[in-house]
Amino acid sequence: MAGKLSKTLKYKHIRKAGDEIIKYIDDRRQGTVTSLKTRWQKFNDAINGGLEWGSIITIAGMSGSGKSSIANELETSLFDHNSDTFSVLSFNFEMLAMKQVGRKLSGKLELTSTQLYSGVDSLKDLDFQRAKYIIEDTIDSYDIYYVDIPGTVEQIYNTIKKFHTTEKKKKGDGYGSVIFLDHTLLTKGATGAQEREILSRLYKMFMLIKKELRLTVIILSQLNRGIESPERMSNPLVHYPMKKDIFGSDAVFHGSDVVMISHKPYMLHLQSYGPSHLPVTNPLENEQAMIYWHIIKNREGEAGVVLSMLDNLKHSKIDEYNPTGNIKFEV
């Protein structure tokens, strides 16, 4: 190459990298470095103790399968279960910020959205006062910021950098940002033939920025309609979500450290689910649907694990079922 080289990439000797990994392992042993815990213990256990800093977690699912409720609960439960210094920046292009907070109220009050929003006849004065108290006393303590206007990949990148820099100045060294994106196909420009290209650019951007800044990224993604095909519906051996069911699966798998699909077979009117004929409703309470979390990629752990959960979506919540028992499906 003619002329002087303007910039080079940094390189590191294997011994230095070895010293770093030994320190990291020891810090984990001593508890000075920890993963971000969630309120679901068996989910924590399945992904090496919780959400790792510097990781990208993709949660995919059909509409109504609970993926937005997972993100909604994660946003607050991370603060409830961790002492790390961090803030949350949530890009939700599907729902206004106030409605996202409404979901959190629904979960904490154990009232449905209908009860909260239907007016004079449905919400008691006492519940309204409880709602105000939760906003002022509890939700106000969560350091969560919302972006509810769709943006381009470049706008998302610039917003994250500005947010992280601003918050780190306020909170000092050791600060990290937790980024949520709901969902990929609502990124500005992701229409028609450009959807896959935008998806690929989005994941490449997150792969780069997680190395620049101390971040954990949770991305929500859609499934295609393959799992609803008559051939899959009628054959329990193949009726469960797979990699090929995720829209833009190659980009998603390449860019993610963990990929999980949330699936609610009750929505498809099945009598049992998968090759093991798992229950579609809670065996102890038949009116309550089961939700299964399929961890189909886990860069630092075991893939193919299926976690049994309980549908409490009317209160914007998902609860654990049989916390000690996991199931294995083919990935």
Band of pLDDT at residue 176, cut at 50, 70 and 90: very high
Q: Is the pLDDT of residue 179 over 90?
A: yes
**SS3 label, residue 213:** coil
Per-residue pLDDT reduced to its tens digit, 285-322: 767 899 999 999 999 888 888 999 998 877 778 888 87
Looking at mean pLDDT, say which of 187-191, 281-285, 308-312 comes out highest: 308-312
Residue 1: the pLDDT is 42
Catalogue all structural domains in the chain, each as residue range(s) with its CATH number: 49-258 (3.40.50.300)
Name the pTM for this structure.
Answer: 0.85
Using alpha carbons, select from 296, 210, 206, 292 the residue that is nearest to residue 249.
Answer: 296
Which is nearest to 241 in space by CA: 220, 222, 269? 222
DSSP lists the bridge partners of residue 145 as 89
If DSSP codes are grouped into helix, strand and coil, which group holds residue 189?
coil
Per-residue pLDDT tens for 194-246? Answer: 788 888 899 999 999 999 999 999 999 888 888 888 888 888 888 888 899 99
pLDDT at 167: 94
Greatest mean pLDDT among 4-8, 108-112, 153-157, 187-191 lies in 153-157
Interval 45-100: pLDDT, tens: 999 889 999 999 999 998 888 888 898 889 888 988 888 889 999 998 777 778 87
Instruction: Write down the mean pLDDT value for the chain.
Output: 84
240-261 confidence digits (pLDDT tens): 888 999 988 899 999 999 999 9
Phi first, then psi: give them for residue 65, nearest 5 degrees.
Answer: -90, -5
pLDDT above 90: percentage of residues in the chain: 30
Give the per-residue pLDDT at 232.
Answer: 85
